[in-house]
Structure 1
Amino acid sequence: MTSSYAPVVIRRAVAAMFFMAGLVFSSWASRIATIQQKLSLSEAALGAVLFALPVGLMISLPLAGWAVNKVGSRKVLAVALMMYGVSLVGLGLVPNIYLLAANLVLFGMASNSVNISVNTQAVATEVLYKKPIMASFHGLWSLAGFVGASVGTLMIGQGVDPMPHFILIAIITVISVIVCLKYLHNDKGAEKKKSAFAKPDSALITLGLIAFCSMVIEGAMFDWSTIYFKKVVLAPGAWVGAGYTAGMCAMASGRFVADSFAARFGLKTTLQVSGTLSLTGLLLVVIFPTLIPSIIGFLFIGAGISSVVPLVYSAAGRSTTMQPGPAIAAVSTISFVGFLVGPPVIGFLAEASSLKVSFLFLAFMALLVIAFTTKAKV
C-alpha cells in the first residue's frame, strides 16, 4: 500500500522530513562549543565524549534496516524524527559529561534511523517520478544545515541557553512530522519479494565502497579544512574558514543540479565526474597551497562529494536482492566507516609526514571513486 496523494505532495512531505533532519543535526552542531563551556570540558574530554554519537549510529544500523522492513519506513521515520528532536532537548539539559555521552548515543541512534527511513521514502518517491531526484532531497538537508547554523549563531549572539533553543527546534520538528505524516509513503503492506536479511551482493558492496571513499574525503573536509588553511595555506585569520565555507556551499549547490545531470548523462558518468572533481580539487590544494587556488580547490572538492552519497543510496534502494531499507542500511554501514576513519587517518599521516602529504591520501580516495564506479554495474 502506498500514499494515494499526488507525487508532488508526497515529494514535498519527504523533502520537509529531510529539511527537519538537517535542522536538528545542525542545531546541535552549532551549540557544541556552548555545551563544552557549560560543562567545563577540555578539548580531550569533548573529543572523547563526541565518540558516543557514532556509537549510537553503529548500534542502530542493523536495527533500523530491520524495523523499516518490518513496520515500514513511514512509521520508523515518524518515531525516529520525533525522538531526534526530543533527544536534542536532552542534550541541552544534561548536567555532566556522563549524561551527555548517554544522550549522544540516543541522538546517534535516532539520527541514523531517520537517515535510513527517510532515504527509503526518497527512493519510493523517486520511483513515482521515474527520474533521479534523490540528490535534491540531500540538498535540502544541506540547506537546513545553513539555516540551523544561522539560528544557532543568532541564539549565541543573544545569549540564549541551548535548552530553550533546542526546545524550539524540537517543537517545530514534532509539528512537521504530524503535518506531513499522512502524505508519506505507507509501505508497511508492500509486497516483500526480496529478503530483508540477505547478504549484500557484489553490486551493493561496490556501491558501499564508492560511498566509503567519498565519505573519507567528506569527513576529512569537515575536520581538517580549517586547519589546512591555517597551517598550510597560511591564510589570514579572517580567511581560515574560507575552504570549509567554499566546500559546504559547493556541496549544497551540487546536490540541486546532480539529479538533472544524472538524468541526462547516467549514474555511472555522474559518479565518475564527481570523483574527477574531487581529485582535481585535492591536487589543486596540494600543488598550489595558496589562498585563491585552495579556495577554488575546495569548491571542486565540495562539488565532487555532493552527489555521491545520495546517488549511491538511490541505486542501493533499487537493489534486486534486498528490500530498500536493509539495502540502504548495508551501504550506509560501509560508507559511514569511511566518515569515521577519514579524519583520524589524516591526523596520523600528517603526524608521520605532513598535512600536505596526508591530503594526497584523500586524492587517492577520489581516484578510487572513479575506479570503483568504472567497475560498478550501475
Structure 2
Amino acid sequence: MLVPIQLSPRRARASVFGIFGLNGFLFAMWVVHIPSITQRTGVSNATLGGLLLVLAAGALIGMRIAGPLADRFGSRLLTGVAALGLSAAVLGPGLVHDADELGIALGLFGFFNGALDVAMNSQAVEVERLYRRPIMSAFHALYSCGGLVGSLIGAATLRADWNLHLSLALAALLGLVVVGVCCIGLLPHLHTAKPAQGRTRMSRKALALGLIAFAMLLSEGVANDWSTLQIKEHLSATDATAALAFGAFSVMMTIGRFGADRIAGALGPVAIVRYGTIVAAVGMAIVVVSGWVPLTLFGWALFGLGLSGCIPQIFTAAGNLGTGAAGANMSRVFSMGYLGLLAGPAVIGWLTKLIPLNAAMAVPLAAVLITCAAAGVVRPSSAAPVHA
C-alpha cells in the first residue's frame, strides 16, 4: 500500500532559504580570501583573470549538466549533492600551491556552484507552486544576505589573522551542517513522467527568457564591476566615496527582493519586470547625466531597486514552462543569463577604449529598456504545472 507523501511548504521554504543563504556565504568566503590566496600561490592579476574564466567555465558546465539531472532524479537530490560538493570545494583554493592547482580548484568550485544554482532554483520553483503565490524573490534576497554574512565573517577572520586553512575549513564544516539540516525538509521528486529521450529542443519562450536573462544579468554585471569606477572617473570621487556606488546598488537590490514577492502577487510577474526595468532605466539615466555625487548614488540605488525583482520572475517562468523538462529549461536560461553576467563587464571594458566609461553606461540602459519591451514573456503559461 502506497502512503501519500506529506508535503510541508513552510519547512520546505525554510530549507530552501538555508540553501540559498549557504550558497551566498560560501561564494563570499572565496571572494574575500582572493588576495590571500593569490599572494600564497604567487598568482598575478593577469593570471587571476584567466583563472576566473576557468571558474566561469566550470559553472557553465555545471549548469548544463544539472538541468537534465534535476529532471531525472529530482532537484532535492541534486541540491543536496551540489551543496555538499560546493561545501567541500571551498577548501580547494586554500590548499593549492601554484596557478595550475588553483585552476583545478576553481574549476571544481565553479562546477558545483553552477550545479547548485540550477538545482536550488528548481527546488524553489517547486516550493513556490505549493504556496500558489510568488516567493522566489525572497530566496534570492537570502542569497544576498548569505553573501553579506560571508563577507563580514571573512573580513573578521582576516583581521584576526586566522589561518587560511582554518577559516575555509570552518566554512566547509558549516556548509555540511546546513546541508544536513536543510535537505531533510526539501521537497521530494514528485514527477513520474519518463524523461525525454535524447536532447530536447529549446522552445521559443525558453529562448526569449534566456535572452532577457542575458540582458538583466549583463546589467547586474556592469553594476558589480564598474559602478565604483564610473563615479570615480566621471565625478573625480575618492575611493571611499566611489565604493558607496556599489553599496547603494547592492543594498537596494537586497531590500527590493524582500518586497518584490508581494508586488508580484498583487500585480503579476509582467508588472514586476516592466515597471522594475523602467525604474532601473530611470536610475541609469540619472547616473549618466548626473554631475553631483549624491544624485549619482541615488541613480545606482534606483538601478539596483529596479533590477531586484526581475531575475527571480524570469527563473520562475523558466521553471514553469510546462514542457516536462523544468530543470533543462532552467539550466539553459541560467547559462544564457550567466553569459550576460560575464559579458557585461567585458563589453564595457572594450568600449572604454573607444568612448568614456560614463558613455558606455548606455549599454545597461539599453539592456533594461529592451527587457521592458519584452516583459510579457514572463507571463505564466496556461500549461504550467500546478500542485494541489
- Class of the TM-score when normalised by the shorter of the 2 chains: over 0.9
For residues 25-62 of structure 1, the C-alpha deviation after alignment (integer angstroms, 9 at most, x for no partner) is 11111111221222222221111111111110122222
Write out the 4+ residue segments of structure 1 that deviate beyond 3 Å after TM superposition.
193-197, 374-378
CA spacing shift, 1:248–1:194, aligned 2, 3 Å: same
Q: Is the 8 A contact 1:316 1:324 kept in 2?
A: yes
1:35 matched to 2:37: yes
CA spacing shift, 1:195–1:135, aligned 2, 3 Å: farther
After TM superposition, give the deviation of residue 252 of structure 1 in Å: 0.7
Alignment partner, residue 114 of structure 1: 116
Alignment partner, residue 344 of structure 2: 342
Alignment partner, residue 79 of structure 1: 81
The partner residue of 1:273 within 275, 278, 283 is: 275
Alignment partner, residue 312 of structure 1: 314
Q: State the alpha-carbon separation in 2 of the partners of residues 191 and 230 from structure 1.
A: 56
CA spacing shift, 1:239–1:98, aligned 2, 3 Å: same
Alignment partner, residue 199 of structure 1: 201
For residues 230-252 of structure 1, the C-alpha deviation after alignment (integer angstroms, 9 at most, x for no partner) is 21122123212000000010111
Q: Is the 8 A contact 2:278 2:369 kept in 1?
A: yes
After TM superposition, give the deviation of residue 225 of structure 1 in Å: 1.1
Percent identity between matched residues is: 29
Q: Is the 8 A contact 2:209 2:377 kept in 1?
A: no
Alignment partner, residue 94 of structure 2: 92
CA spacing shift, 1:229–1:90, aligned 2, 3 Å: same
Alignment partner, residue 160 of structure 2: 158
Q: Is the 8 A contact 2:128 2:134 kept in 1?
A: yes
Alignment partner, residue 19 of structure 1: 21
Q: Secondary structure at the match of 1:112?
A: helix
Q: Is the 8 A contact 1:267 1:311 kept in 2?
A: yes
Q: State the alpha-carbon separation in 2 of the partners of residues 263 and 104 from structure 1.
A: 39
Q: Is the 8 A contact 2:313 2:378 kept in 1?
A: no
Q: Aligned residues, how many?
A: 377
For residue 156 of structure 2, what is the amino acid of its counterpart? Answer: L
For residue 190 of structure 1, what is the amino acid of its counterpart? Answer: H
Gaps of 5+ in 2: 381-388
Q: State the alpha-carbon separation in 2 of the partners of residues 375 and 223 from structure 1.
A: 28
For residue 369 of structure 1, what is the amino acid of its counterpart? Answer: T
For residue 340 of structure 1, what is the amino acid of its counterpart? Answer: L
For residues 132-182 of structure 1, the C-alpha deviation after alignment (integer angstroms, 9 at most, x for no partner) is 000000100001111011011101111123221111111011111111222
Q: Is the 8 A contact 1:203 1:377 kept in 2?
A: no
Q: Is the 8 A contact 2:63 2:114 kept in 1?
A: yes
Q: Is the 8 A contact 1:74 1:185 kept in 2?
A: yes
Alignment partner, residue 384 of structure 2: none
For residue 166 of structure 1, what is the amino acid of its counterpart? Answer: L
Q: Secondary structure at the match of 1:51?
A: helix
Q: How does 1:1-378 map to 2 (within 5 A)?
A: 4-187=6-189, 190-192=191-193, 195=196, 197-374=199-376, 377-378=379-380
Q: State the alpha-carbon separation in 2 of the partners of residues 200 and 321 from structure 1.
A: 10
For residue 358 of structure 2, what is the amino acid of its counterpart? Answer: K
Q: Is the 8 A contact 1:3 1:185 kept in 2?
A: no
Q: Is the 8 A contact 1:229 1:235 kept in 2?
A: yes
For residues 43-98 of structure 1, the C-alpha deviation after alignment (integer angstroms, 9 at most, x for no partner) is 21111111111110122222111211121111111111111011100111111111
Q: State the alpha-carbon separation in 2 of the partners of residues 289 and 26 from structure 1.
A: 33
Q: State the alpha-carbon separation in 2 of the partners of residues 301 and 167 from structure 1.
A: 37
Q: Secondary structure at the match of 2:352?
A: helix
Q: Is the 8 A contact 2:280 2:368 kept in 1?
A: yes
Q: State the alpha-carbon separation in 1 of the partners of residues 283 and 341 from structure 2.
A: 19
Q: Is the 8 A contact 1:279 1:301 kept in 2?
A: yes
TM-score (norm 1): 0.96
Q: Secondary structure at the match of 2:374?
A: helix
For residue 221 of structure 1, what is the amino acid of its counterpart? Answer: A
Q: State the alpha-carbon separation in 1 of the partners of residues 5 and 350 from structure 2.
A: 50
CA spacing shift, 1:76–1:136, aligned 2, 3 Å: same
Q: State the alpha-carbon separation in 2 of the partners of residues 194 and 203 from structure 1.
A: 20
Gaps of 5+ in 1: none
Q: Is the 8 A contact 2:288 2:361 kept in 1?
A: yes
Q: Is the 8 A contact 1:2 1:186 kept in 2?
A: no
After TM superposition, give the deviation of residue 375 of structure 1 in Å: 5.7
Q: State the alpha-carbon separation in 1 of the partners of residues 210 and 363 from structure 2.
A: 19
TM-score (norm 2): 0.94
Q: State the alpha-carbon separation in 2 of the partners of residues 271 and 342 from structure 1.
A: 20
Q: Secondary structure at the match of 1:241?
A: helix
Q: Is the 8 A contact 1:208 1:335 kept in 2?
A: yes
